[in-house]
Amino acid sequence: MAKITLNGREVDVPDGVNLIQAAETVGVTIPHYCYHPGLPIDGNCRMCLVEIDGARGPQISCNTFVKDGMVVHTDTPAVEKMRKGVQEFLLLNHPIDCPICDQAGECRLQDYYMEYGQYQNRSMVEKVEKNKVVDLGPLVVLDQERCILCSRCVRFCESVTKTGELVIAGRGDHSRIETFPGKKLDNPYSGNVVDVCPVGALTSKDFRFKQRVWFLTITKSICTGCANGCATFVDHRDGTSYRYRPRHNPLVNNYWMCDEGRLSYHALNEDRLVSAMTGGEKQPIGLAMDAVVAKIKVAMKDFGPDSVAFVGSAHASVEANYVMKRLATEVVGTKNVWGVTLTPDGHADDFLIKADKTPNRRAFKLLGLNEDADALKRELSGGKIKVLVALDRNDLAGEGGSEWADLLNKVPDTIYFATHIDDWAPMATVTLPVATHVEQYGTYIQAKGVLQKVMKAYDADGDAVPSYEALGSLARALGTEFEYDDVEQVWTHLREAYPDQLGGLSFYGIPEHGHSLAVPALATP
Amino acid sequence: MAFQPVVSIRFDIPNASHIDVYEQHGGYQAARKAFGMEPAAIIEEVKTSGLRGRGGAGFPAGMKWGFIPKDNPKPKYLVVNADESEPGTFKDRKIIERDPHSLVEGCIIASYAVGAHACYIYIRGEFNQQRINLEDAIKQAYAKGYLGDNVLGTGYKLNIYTHRGAGAYICGEETGLLESLEGKKGQPRLKPPFPATHGVFQCPTVVNNVETIATVPWIIQHGGATYASMGTEKAKGTRLMCVSGHVNKPGVYEIEMGIPMKTFIEEHAGGVWKGRKLKAVIPGGSSCPILTAEEAEKVTMDPEAIAALGSMAGSGGMIVIDDETCMVDLLEDLLHFYAHESCGQCTPCREGTDWLYKIIRRLEAGQGTEEELDSVLDIADNMEGKTICALAAAATMPTRSYIKKFRSEFVAHLEHRGCPKKKQPALV
């Protein structure tokens, strides 16, 4: 820790950080455009100028690192004038087209004008004209006139993806962002430039003009596109998700996420199953549940508990898989508890994209579910399984091909907890609608063994409920006491069941950046 | 000691750019002498001479060399700034045209003093004939064993490379130059770190102006004390002055530091042309605040005396202005230059230089308002000292001085709806 004097107040701040970060730790905001903690320092916007005793003139906070005894002023009339001056310069050639700008509501130019600007326009000179609606690549559109040339996007492509598609061309006030001739901004992480852009210059083709951001509610979630489980914000309104944005998590994704994952939110809104089905026909949820209970009871009575099999899902939460395991072992008493996923490996890179396209395969390891697909195949072909219960987005039918389809068809009754109308939903004897990860509280364990929680953004439509709730109702109907309709209830039991791995955490006690499970087996080989 | 020319001694010798002629006139003797000295002793000698950088900032050269860390394992570099882009300045061009070997010899001595085995001369792109001249001189020096793997038989290795600029003013700023030299866009770097530790290729680097380096051989040969005996207490020795504008004899003249400006204009430069009166003087290149005729007539030509009047001796590019000149017109021209040359990297300079230019252009065209004229000083204040490099200040300092010292002319443009010196007022 270093001792500095900030606006006359002596404070302790961490060593080795710059003044923006240091001030933030004690609740003082130093405005800035070009500085981004995930990018190299460039010092070009000049918004973070502050006064430091003994320094030659004002200094930029982003490139000034704390030293013991430093005396810093961020609230003097001189600093206020500098900020106002920079704000005025930045808006001098800006079109001020906020009413038609997608960034409005989350724009630093707007925010800082209100906070630090508030001057009367005194410019009588014509504005510099530049290009608008420049198509940079598959995901990103550029408005050069709105750009403040902070170079965050350029630095992102230089230092994070190392693809270098973007450049500031030209000089003086004719400087503008461009791609190199013949190049497109089409790297797998291009969408991040929209997030780092502090103004309306770079907008997302996917999101622009869909929603005004002030109508959106922001909920902390994760991306379920692959095993990396990038921390995200899901921005939603009235039960519809409109975008993912990466959320800072140094253990998982730093500040970034891939384009494929970014667009995967679309699936949260499309082809959803919201009512129960039997034999491919809609059915009231109550009747469907009664049918499920009856089928399990009959099988248990006629063929013994082992005739009921449960298959977890690498796409379902830890909670869903856990409650399933408890129901299977404690209520039904079957030995047939599986954690099999057939999702094939896909494209991977050395940054965020993982070959494993399931978000929670490691939950099987934590819970000790049987992952042997061949053994499950043998069990199914033996004909002893009469009822098979499968969790959310289970891929046995979808990915297993005709071989698995035949096996599943041999089982007299299949009960499928489906989020979407996928390959299996119409085939199963009874299909029960369940919530997606943004419609429930829960946790997922990503590739490096970091357990992250997702918060509920909105309630699922129709009859869909979180799987652990549905499983809880099933357990109750089968005549047991335990029932789960709150994630914290699940966690009361989870942390008792896995004290070493979960370290006695409660759901709400899981840290912001997740909890690294101390289980070697969970680490990615 | 009485004044004797240092840098310009061979300017009038025919073919002095040929190595044989250069050697006949004492050339490369200083380099020989230097290799008999310890590097530290050379730096000490340059410190004694009081030689200050001739590129504009006037930083003591010996002290700059002393900043090169001894214990840094990285290679060290000497970079010579021959970008000479400050309007009004054309002395380095003359050195390279008339006496390129003095620069080459200076590079040898300076490289040896700081431990550099590679020296880059970054030369202004427009100086094509001069570059050819310099490259010829370098070739001759290689042929005679002054450069290469075994300099003067001492085993010291030194290579000199020339690198052409592409015509940007900002590449005269030392870190902008280094970026350009590395093949990047010429934009100044954030400081710290400074070139002495993180220069070209992130290695310890000395960046010196051509004239500074070309002065070094004379200092080594005649001794720092001899050099220091000329000039004033704080500004020692001599310097090249470029004079242009409304004078009878524009050109490059070597003067002793501290002579009266009046003497220089009247004697060296042949006085104001066409029998007109002196109105103002830009003392050291376009970035320097302007001096009125009264100020110019009483000031002496040394950095401290000029600084006392709020201006700078700069790079020695004097522009003399006669009484027929419109100061608004002149400022418009000047600001057009800075707006055009701003690299655009940081906000106040990128936006401010062009804004100032447009305001003054409107004023000259008869469209200006009083509020706009008043805003100029405030805009200048928002720029100056708030930027990465000094280009913004190079635009705002003269702007302030023009408006302060010639305000009545600016006001006349408001009242007259345009330039009173032009026959017809501009139509609004």
Do residue A128 and residue B354 have CB atoms under 8 angstroms apart?
A: yes
Helix axes B391-405, B327-341, angle to 10 degrees: 170
CA angle, B147 then B149 then B155, to 5°:
100
Alpha-carbon span B3 to B256, nearest angstrom: 6
pLDDT value at position A207? 97
Q: Which of B347, B353, B364, B386 to mutate to test the interface with A (most CBs of A within 10 A)?
A: B347
Alpha-carbon span A495 to A504, nearest angstrom: 5
Q: Are B116 and B77 in contact (CB under 8 A)?
A: yes
- What confidence tens digit (pLDDT) does each residue in A271-311 have? 999 999 998 889 999 999 999 999 999 999 999 999 999 99
Domains of chain B: 19-228 (3.40.50.11540), 238-322 (3.10.20.600), 327-415 (1.20.1440.230)
Confidence tier at B423 by pLDDT (50, 70, 90): low
Do residue A173 and residue B344 have CB atoms under 8 angstroms apart?
A: yes
A324-352: average pLDDT = 94
Q: Which of A33, A46, A128 to mutate to test the interface with B (most CBs of B within 10 A)?
A: A46
Within its chain, how far is the Cα of B81 from the centroid?
A: 9
Chain A, nearest residue to B190 by Cα: A43
Confidence tier at B428 by pLDDT (50, 70, 90): very low
pLDDT value at position B421? 82
Question: Whole-prediction pTM value?
Answer: 0.94
- Tell me the backbone φ, ψ of residue A122, rounded to 5 degrees: -120, 10
Do residue B341 and residue A171 have CB atoms under 8 angstroms apart?
A: yes
**What mean pLDDT is reported for chain A?**
94
What percent of chain B shows pLDDT beyond 90? 96
Alpha-carbon span A76 to A85, nearest angstrom: 14
Contacts of B380 in chain A (CB under 8 A): none
- Cis before B193 (ω within 30): yes
Chain A, nearest residue to B374 by Cα: A122
Contacts of A168 in chain B (CB under 8 A): 185, 344
Tokens (6 digits) for A183 = 């190049």
pLDDT value at position A522? 55
Confidence tier at A518 by pLDDT (50, 70, 90): low
- Tell me the backbone φ, ψ of residue A338, rounded to 5 degrees: -120, 155
Tokens (6 digits) for A499 = 């004290």
Contacts 24+ apart (CB under 8 A), A167-170: A168/B185, A168/B344, A170/B344
Do residue B342 and residue A44 have CB atoms under 8 angstroms apart?
A: no
From A49's Cα to the closest Cα of chain B, the distance in A is 8
Three-class DSSP category at A72 = strand
Contacts of B168 in chain A (CB under 8 A): 171
What residues of chain B have any CB closer than 8 angstroms to a CB in chain A? 168, 185, 190, 339-348, 350-355, 358-359, 362, 369, 371-372, 375, 379, 381-383, 385-388
B250-279: average pLDDT = 96
A17-42: average pLDDT = 97
A449-469: average pLDDT = 96
Confidence tier at A525 by pLDDT (50, 70, 90): very low
Place of tokens 């900032």: B57
Q: Are A57 and A50 in contact (CB under 8 A)?
A: no
Chain A, nearest residue to B189 by Cα: A42
Count helices and strands in chain B by DSSP H and E runs? 19, 10
Q: Which of A124, A129, A144, A150 to mutate to test the interface with B (most CBs of B within 10 A)?
A: A124
Do residue A63 and residue B190 have CB atoms under 8 angstroms apart?
A: yes
- What confidence tens digit (pLDDT) does each residue in A349-380 have? 999 999 999 999 999 999 999 999 999 999 99
- What confidence tens digit (pLDDT) does each residue in A204-260 have? 999 999 999 999 999 999 999 999 999 999 999 999 999 999 999 999 999 999 999
Q: What is the DSSP string of B164-192?
A: E--S-GGGGSHHHHHHHHTTS---PPPSS
The pLDDT of residue A109 is above 60: yes
Contacts of B346 in chain A (CB under 8 A): 43-46
Q: Tally A–B CB contacts below 8 A.
A: 99
Q: Which residues of A208-226 are buried (b: 16+ CB within 10 A; e: fewer)?
A: eeebebeebeebebbbbbb
Q: Are A163 and A199 in contact (CB under 8 A)?
A: no
Q: Is the dihedral of CA B273, B277, B283, B289 positive or negative?
A: negative
- What confidence tens digit (pLDDT) does each residue in B287-312 have? 999 999 999 999 999 999 999 999 99
pLDDT value at position A524? 46
- What confidence tens digit (pLDDT) does each residue in A412-456 have? 999 999 999 988 888 899 999 999 999 999 999 999 999 999 999
CA-to-CA dists, residue B109 to A404, B114, B221, B228, B269, angstroms? 82, 9, 11, 19, 33
Domains of chain A: 2-75 (3.10.20.740), 125-268 (3.30.70.20), 276-522 (3.40.50.740)
Contacts of A61 in chain B (CB under 8 A): none
Do residue A57 and residue B339 have CB atoms under 8 angstroms apart?
A: no
